[in-house]
C-alpha cells in the first residue's frame, strides 16, 4: 500500500506560523511523524509540499498509477480550489482531507471545502494526530 501525503501553502512555515493555532512543532517534525506512522503501519509513503496550486494539481495527477490513496491538507486552497477538487476527482483515488485546526470553529470563509467533496473523510482540529487518523482511515478503506 502506497500513500501520497500532500501539504499546501504555508504549511512549510509550521512552528513559525501562528503557533497558537498550528502549534510549535515545525514542518520537518510533521514529516518525521508521518513517516513514523507509515513505517509502523507497513505503508509506503511519499510526502510533498507546495505553495502553488498548479503544482499540487500536478502532484495529484502524478499519484495516478503510483499511489493507492492520498492524504491532503490543501491549506488555504481548501476554501478556493475547484482545480484541486477536479484533480482528486480525475484520479479517483480514495483521499482524506486533513486540517491541523478546526476550520469549522474559525472564520466563516474557512467553513467551505472544495477538495472535501472528493474525499472519503475530513479530519480537522486534531493537530499532527489528524494525519495519523487520515492514514489509518485510508488503510482501513483500502483493505476492505
Residues that are catalytic: 22, 99
Sign, CA dihedral 4-9-12-17, equals: negative
- Closest to ligand DQA by CB, 73 vs 81, is 73
Min dist CB 42 to ligand DQA, Å, is 26
Asked if 41 and 136 count as a contact pair (C-beta separation under 8 A), the reply is yes
Task: Give the CA count within 13 Å in the CB-facing half-sphere of 82.
Answer: 0
**Which residue is it, cell 510549535?**
24
- Closest to ligand DQA by CB, 68 vs 80, is 80
Q: Where are the alpha helices (DSSP H) in the chain?
A: 19-22, 27-41, 53-63, 82-91, 129-142
Min dist CB 3 to ligand DQA, Å, is 18
- Closest to ligand DQA by CB, 49 vs 73, is 73
Binding site for ligand DQA (CB under 6 A): 10, 73, 75-76, 78, 99-101, 103, 110
Min dist CB 99 to ligand DQA, Å, is 4
- How far apart are alpha carbons 22 and 95 in whole angstroms? 22
Min dist CB 11 to ligand DQA, Å, is 6
Task: Give the CA count within 13 Å in the CB-facing half-sphere of 95.
Answer: 29
- Closest to ligand DQA by CB, 67 vs 77, is 77
Amino acid at each position: 500500500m502506497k500513500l501520497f501525503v500532500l501539504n499546501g501553502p504555508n504549511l512549510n512555515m509550521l512552528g513559525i506560523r501562528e503557533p497558537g493555532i498550528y502549534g510549535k512543532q515545525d514542518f520537518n517534525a510533521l514529516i518525521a511523524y508521518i513517516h513514523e506512522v507509515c513505517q509502523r503501519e507497513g505503508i509506503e509513503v511519499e510526502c510533498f509540499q507546495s505553495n502553488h496550486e498548479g503544482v499540487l494539481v500536478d502532484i495529484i495527477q502524478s499519484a495516478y498509477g503510483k499511489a493507492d490513496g492520498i492524504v491532503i491538507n490543501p491549506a488555504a486552497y481548501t476554501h478556493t480550489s475547484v482545480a484541486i477538487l477536479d484533480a482528486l476527482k480525475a484520479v479517483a483515488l480514495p483521499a482524506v482531507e486533513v486540517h491541523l485546526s478546526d476550520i469549522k470553529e474559525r472564520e466563516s470563509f474557512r467553513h467551505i471545502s472544495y477538495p472535501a467533496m472528493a474525499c472519503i473523510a475530513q479530519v480537522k482540529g486534531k493537530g499532527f494526530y489528524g494525519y495519523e487518523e487520515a492514514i489509518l482511515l485510508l488503510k482501513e478503506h483500502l483493505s476492505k
